[in-house]
A and B are shown apart, each in its own frame.
Chain A
Amino acid sequence: MSTETESPQESPQARTQKLEGLGTRRKRVEDVRFTQGKGNYIDDLKLPNMLFGRFVRTPYGHAHVKSVNKDAALQVPGVKAVLTADDLKPLKLHWMPTLAGDVQAVLADEKVLFQGQEVAFVVAEDRYIAADAADLVEVEYEALSALVDPNQSMTSDAPILRDDLKDKVSGAHGPRKHHNHIFTWQVGDAAGTERALREAPIVVKERIVYQRVHPCPLETCGCVASMDKVNGHLTVWGTFQAPHAVRTVASLISGIPEHKIRLISPDIGGGFGNKVGVYPGYICSIVASIVLGVPVKWVEDRMENLQSTAFARDYHMTGEIAATAEGRITGLRCHVLADHGAFDACADPTKYPAGFFSICTGSYDIPVADITVDGVYTNKAPGGVAYRCSFRVTEASYFIERMIDVLARKLGMDPAEIRRRNLIRKDQFPYRSALGWEYDSGDYLTALDKALQAVGYTELREEQRRNREAFGRGATRTLMGIGVSFFTEIVGAGPIKNCDILGLGMFDSCEIRVHPTGSAIARLGTISQGQGHATTFAQILASEIGIPAADITVEEGDTDTAPYGLGTYGSRSTPVAGAATAMAGRKIRAKAQMIAAYLLEVHDDDLEWDVDRFRVKGAPERFKTMAELAFAAYNKVPPGMEPGLEAVSYYDPPNMTYPFGAYVCVVEVDVDTGVTEIRRFYALDDCGTRINPMIIEGQVHGGLTEALAIAMGQEMDYDELGNLKNASLLDFFLPTAVETPEWETDFTTTPSPHHPIGAKGVGESPNVGGVSAFSNAVNDAFAHLGLTHTQMPHDHWRVWKTAQRLGLTEA
């Protein structure tokens, strides 16, 4: 290896650039395979003798299963097995635990509770035969009345949905007050809030529904289970956002020791929360592989995905705000009726059955608040996942951002001005909210001012005033709406002291091995679904250990090789696994420093770090590069030191991180057709330290597009029988390039004080802040006519109905 004098004397700037570390718009390493069709998604996997599984699903929303006859299906050539609940019973696998402390039927046990529920699992030689045979399974049902509206769940004559729970007076989250009740969760100061509401000169109340939607990643859920009967090893490849946690669950359910189970998440075609849960398809594939001794693949189709796996939201919120005449908020109360569907399969940390909904005081300095959430059962699919947001944070943000606009209307105050009066000031951080969260850092007023200035807010309002005048005299049939939203997220779950799932603390991890020639591999407990982890985590490490990002392989998703971690959702990868990566890197650097001191014959403290090397203080010509130190780690370590250069970090974050942002949306509404056009959308995000601005912008674009979908068109539309009327992409709104506007992105940078590199996470912010910006804009278009709130989604029909209700169009 080279000696200290042989290394080229490049400038620190040139060497920094070469690393492609923090702050670099580094091109993604993943794209090389994806742009050539060489990704490895679950349905690409083909194993010898592999069979295909397909579910028989019920068309009923609520029914008794009187009989299941599989004889005809078994007669089809190529069919290997048909599993029903009766087949799973001896294995005690016909029910499985959910992530929320409830149980869910793997295959319907005497009853079906939502349309699309799994009744039988057909296993055949190919997917065509499996589909043929599934059609031949005869299931006899006795229809029961379906309960679809959560407002009717707890009426005295509501049908009993969960026969298995009917005598249970308490559930995983405390007492149940009705046979369709799941939990009540209360946080805050009820008496103090009541007093604030009673004494306030101004009180507004509004009912705000955040409709049921679906994450709908372009790739559906699926798996391949392969039981090696000789060695007793089970391998399952699948669309898992949390492979380690699923392995632990699989072990607990199946009784197979955890060391004999290997879970592998291959490339995942988008997750957005949809792939966090454990689904009957995984269990049935595993059982079928154990029974038949060959690999079994199950990949759901789009209708199955929309009907049965992990919906999001369905929060029915009633809010009250107390305020002074000047618009200072003095209290906030919220009651939520949460529709969890037929089984409580929400993916929330154990102690938070309503997730982090208590972030609903938002970005405002609200002295007292009181929230209560009642979870109820209905005849709809289970789920309640965090669709591109931290647990229930989008619901909370939408709630407060709509409520504060309602308050502004009542006071006749500008929506930007009322936010300015209530925003938490910079000198209040770290800020403890009335509902108990400690916001780590923020500079909200600066962000708001920058956003308002960037869009020319004053001029926009002036233009709107002229537009309304013109509309009033009949010169135009288009109304202009301006939506302002200022959001605070809570992400990066989370500190083990208050965050666990099924008892597993929500830390995350990184293990690094530096090779003798100065390249490295890092393995993490998270799993990318498009976020670009292989690119960005290498950047974090490059800046920490001075090895170019291009020389660092990042690997995730294989439970046999990656250190244990809780996976990727809730914007936790950067706040938690990113922190672990930096911390593991620092251990590497600390060891390298000792080796450098030994080689340079100085004391450790006489060395200083310089981009990619340690140099002697006061004698910069004497140094050792990381590449030199990597090699030395394998042959010239100080006496008594172990050789090698490896480190692992399991990072338990001291707090969550609190990204924030200010968004402005300008919309034009044609009152005669209800057609809306997003004229402008400006998004300012503060996610702390920025690792890769290109990827951040991409995340913001994508999150805004999902927010657009939710605000302007998505709704899982059930009829009174429990039929999901829009379970295909024909009817379920996913915006195309034509409906999607141009996005403007901007930023401020307020590092997190407790994160090793100050990063906060960004992937979900645009969804959290975006939905309310769109919705506020549509509501604002009609505000001068007395409208305070209309329910989402603001599709053309609903907008037209609003115009009609306000007397703007003929009936």
Chain B
Amino acid sequence: MAKTRIMLKVNNRDVETLAEPRMLLIHLLREQLGITGPHIGCDTSHCGACTVDMNGKSVKSCTVFAVQANGAQIITIEGLAAADGTLHPLQEAFREHHGLQCGFCTPGMITRAYRLLQENPHPSEAEIRFGISGNLCRCTGYQTIVRAIHAAAECMNSAKEAAE
């Protein structure tokens, strides 16, 4: 099948590649670019394991064609840490609060929470639960995930206040 040339920015790195028009973004990331943080957990856009950030929105990359990402800015779990390697507060908080077990949902969950906290820097518990309801976890029962997101929000907000 003929391939289309696409250019995009993934985790702040310019990428130019060829993809079949039918190729899904998740397959482009995982198999062509070697970015295996986002996972595939279902075929129907329910589980959210493939969640990445595309142009400032959370998307399920199994429901986006790679060609639709032409020109897009993509952030995956691999792109959340600072350039000097400092982990994102969410990454720290998930570990601190036991917000993961098998780790399979974690990249999608953290990437979703990353966007959630930009959409709503002070979410209530109910807002966090609703905000991550597109991401399934089979291990944790969500309680510790909710706690971790809450803790990360507090940490980010106080860092912001300190900077102002």
Contacts and interface: CB of A to CB of B under 8 A. Distances in A.
B133 A531 contact: no
Contact of A37 (B38, B40, B132): B38
A395 B117 CA distance: 42
Contacts of A736: 129, 132-136, 142
Interface in B61-101: 76-78, 81, 87, 91-92, 94-96, 98, 100-101
A32 B85 CA distance: 12
For chain B, give the interface size range.
35 or more
B15 interface: no
Interface string A53-69: 00000000000000000
Q: Which of A36, A37, A529 has the most CB of B within 10 A?
A: A37
A254 interface: no
Contact of B128 (A126, A694, A737, A740): A737
B100 A218 contact: no
Q: Which of B81, B106, B145 has the most CB of A within 10 A?
A: B106
Q: Which of A272, A704, A736 has the most CB of B within 10 A?
A: A736
A729 B39 CA distance: 16
B142 A39 contact: no
Contacts of A219: 39, 41, 102, 104
Given A217-B138, A737-B129, A737-B146, A302 B87 contact: no
B68 to A, nearest CB: 17
A35 B133 CA distance: 19
B123 to A, nearest CB: 12
Interface string B107-122: 1001000000000000
Interface stretch (A515-523, A695-703, A716-724): A695-703
Interface string A24-54: 0001101111111111010110100000000
B124 interface: no
Contact of A43 (B40, B42, B107, B137): B40
B141 A701 contact: yes
A43 B26 CA distance: 12
A440 B99 CA distance: 33
Interface string A210-224: 000000111110000
A809 B72 CA distance: 53
Nearest to A271: B102
A39 B103 contact: yes
Contact of A36 (B41, B78, B138): B78
B78 A37 contact: yes
Interface in B9-35: 20, 22-23, 27, 30-31, 34-35
A127 B133 CA distance: 29
A748 to B, nearest CB: 21
A36 B98 contact: no
B49 interface: yes
Contact of B42 (A38, A530, A728): A728
A269 interface: yes
Nearest to A695: B98
B104 A701 contact: no
A128 B22 contact: yes
A270 B106 CA distance: 12
Contact of A31 (B42, B49, B78, B95): B95
A35 B101 CA distance: 11
A36 B110 CA distance: 9
Contacts of A33: 103
Q: Which of B95, B129, B142 has the most CB of A within 10 A?
A: B142
A220 B104 CA distance: 11
Contacts of B37: 36-38
Contacts of A737: 128-130, 132-133, 135, 137, 142, 145-146
Contacts of A37: 35-38, 76-78, 107
Nearest to A739: B133
Contacts of B5: none
B140 to A, nearest CB: 6
Given A218-B41, A301-B43, A728-B42, A34 B142 contact: no
A36 B102 contact: no
A302 B142 CA distance: 22
Interface string A674-701: 0000000000000000000011011101
Contacts of B141: 698, 701-702, 704-705, 740, 743
Q: Which of A41, A529, A695, A702 has the most CB of B within 10 A?
A: A702
B136 A729 contact: yes
B44 A729 contact: yes
Contact of B91 (A35, A729, A740, A742): A35
B105 interface: yes
A531 B132 CA distance: 23
Contacts of A715: none
B117 to A, nearest CB: 15
Given A44-B36, A530-B139, A694-B98, A34 B42 contact: no
B4 to A, nearest CB: 14
A698 B144 contact: yes
B109 to A, nearest CB: 10
Nearest to A531: B101
A737 B130 CA distance: 7
A218 B144 contact: no
A302 B39 contact: no
Contacts of B102: 217-219, 267-270, 529-530
B59 interface: no
Given A219-B41, A736-B142, 15 more contacts: A30-B103, A34-B107, A37-B37, A128-B20, A218-B138, A302-B41, A695-B98, A698-B140, A701-B141, A701-B142, A705-B141, A728-B44, A729-B47, A737-B128, A743-B141
25 contacts: A32-B95, A35-B77, A35-B103, A35-B110, A44-B30, A128-B20, A128-B23, A217-B102, A219-B102, A268-B102, A269-B39, A301-B42, A301-B43, A532-B101, A694-B98, A695-B98, A698-B141, A704-B141, A730-B46, A734-B46, A734-B47, A736-B129, A740-B142, A740-B143, A743-B143
